A and B are shown apart, each in its own frame.
Chain A
């Protein structure tokens, strides 16, 4: 399966700095979005450090995919490697925040997708998301690590209109805050024609899943899709930095998404 991708990040309408970072590499099959937090320039440092650490680790794994030392018998070596790459990023960001006063308390989200052979590994920490668009469905492949999301998970019948609302922007897990972090990791079998989106909360706070899905189905070049998503978030107010990364798995036969993105 051949993949191609695009990514775009934008400061948004209200912020002065862009604390989001992203990376795409179709050769390695690696896609990353990170959304940093922290004062002054610390958020940018945190997110770019996450991206570079994950990238370095995964590129090494890609070159020589050796079996990983691990306790996790329920994961493939590729999934374990993604896990380790986020743990490495955590150590690097945490160390930086310990060593330098102005970086104290900085952290970042991480959303990582890695295509390895016939397996797609997805992992996240924080509230950056990964979506799968398959045929006529959109599915969130990640769970947000926010107070809000945790509350909903624990109280499925909770009505946000009647109760006080734990805020959406309070993370309960982030990269670089503690000495260790646990990423949620999933594995699946990708199908030709799948389209995967990685994004920061600047996109998902402004647009619903359905709107994201519709924007993708409008088609065009993947660069246009990314721009469309970012522009829509900005038109809605652009309260935060917005990042969208999209990759598409080339399909041999004809399908809906193939018609939109596959015909070159």
Chain B
């Protein structure tokens, strides 16, 4: 059984046992661990027990939750961890039996609720400039801007965008020799990928594309009489 000791400076104020599925801490009186201090949010953080694991989740508190001096959003707790909320410290301790068990067994897959707010808060964060995280690039909205031979611009909202002359094409491309679908752009975790269907020549930055090509910002795509530029929106 995990134990939590609430401390202020060096003074131990109260001890708690983590008995149920989860435990919350914060300023509001209905928290399991009530910490009366203005630096502490109403519902500041939560500890979930998931199998043999204990997961601490910051509930988007105003002043943050720190474990051993590091700010955390969500983390697995280990024996002896010091959780700082406001000016209070909560020391997390496992029973000796639990520590042994922990070392002995491999972890099974578990499911946990994650604070819904956390991801929303992250989404509002401006993406740092020059960030080359491929996972993020697919979530960034992108557009195709016509440099010549077409309309204005096309915002890539679909998972799979078809370029060509046919009715099924999302981006219409004229020209006598343009096939119904000349190429596709797929939006997936690793980014935006351009794949020619092989029925027409497709060039990116003046070089013909063979298999498929992961688009980088400001790539120019040439299909038949049309030239498009790929870039991220906003």
A interface, CB within 8 angstroms of B:
14, 35, 37, 73-76, 79, 105, 107, 109, 118-119, 122, 127, 134-135, 139-143, 147, 150-151, 153-154, 156, 163-167, 169-172, 174, 177, 184-189, 191, 201, 239-240
Contact = CB atoms under 8 A, between A and B. Distances in A.
B186 interface: yes
B105 to A, nearest CB: 9
A156 B136 CA distance: 9
B131 A156 contact: yes
B127 to A, nearest CB: 10
A164 B78 contact: yes
Contacts of A239: 106
B111 A107 contact: yes
A150 B119 contact: yes
Chain A interface mostly helix, strand, loop or mixed? loop
A169 B122 contact: no
A14 B188 CA distance: 35
A148 B128 CA distance: 21
Nearest to A76: B160
A98 to B, nearest CB: 16
Contacts of B159: 74-76, 79, 185-187
Nearest 4 A/B pairs, CB to CB: A187-B160, A188-B186, A189-B184, A187-B159
A186 B190 CA distance: 11
Contacts of B75: 163-166
B50 interface: yes
A79 B159 CA distance: 9
The number of chain B residues touching the other chain, given as a range, is: 35 or more
A171 B109 contact: yes
Interface in B71-129: 72-76, 78, 81, 106-112, 114, 119, 122
A189 B197 CA distance: 8
Contacts of B181: 118
A139 B190 contact: yes
9 contacts: A79-B160, A147-B114, A150-B119, A156-B131, A156-B133, A164-B70, A167-B53, A170-B53, A240-B106
Nearest to B189: A143
A100 B109 CA distance: 21
B133 to A, nearest CB: 4
Contacts, number: 124
B121 to A, nearest CB: 9
A119 B78 contact: no
Contact of A153 (B110, B135, B187, B195): B135
A105 to B, nearest CB: 8
Interface of B: 50, 53, 55, 67-68, 70, 72-76, 78, 81, 106-112, 114, 119, 122, 131, 133, 135-136, 157-160, 181, 184, 186-190, 193, 195, 197, 211-212
A244 to B, nearest CB: 17
B211 A134 contact: yes
Given A170-B53, A191-B195, A142 B189 contact: yes
Given A170-B53, A186-B159, A188-B186, 19 more contacts: A76-B159, A76-B160, A139-B190, A147-B55, A147-B74, A150-B74, A150-B119, A151-B74, A156-B136, A164-B68, A164-B70, A164-B72, A164-B81, A165-B75, A169-B107, A170-B55, A170-B76, A172-B112, A191-B195
A220 B55 CA distance: 44
Contacts of A119: 160
A143 B160 contact: no
A170 B108 contact: no
B137 to A, nearest CB: 11
Contacts of B189: 140-143, 184, 186
Contacts of B188: 122, 141, 186, 188
B73 A151 contact: yes
A154 B55 CA distance: 17
Contact of B109 (A74, A122, A164, A169): A169
A37 B76 contact: no
Nearest to A75: B159
A74 B133 contact: no
Contacts of B114: 147, 150, 172
Contact of A171 (B112, B160, B187): B112
Contacts of B122: 154
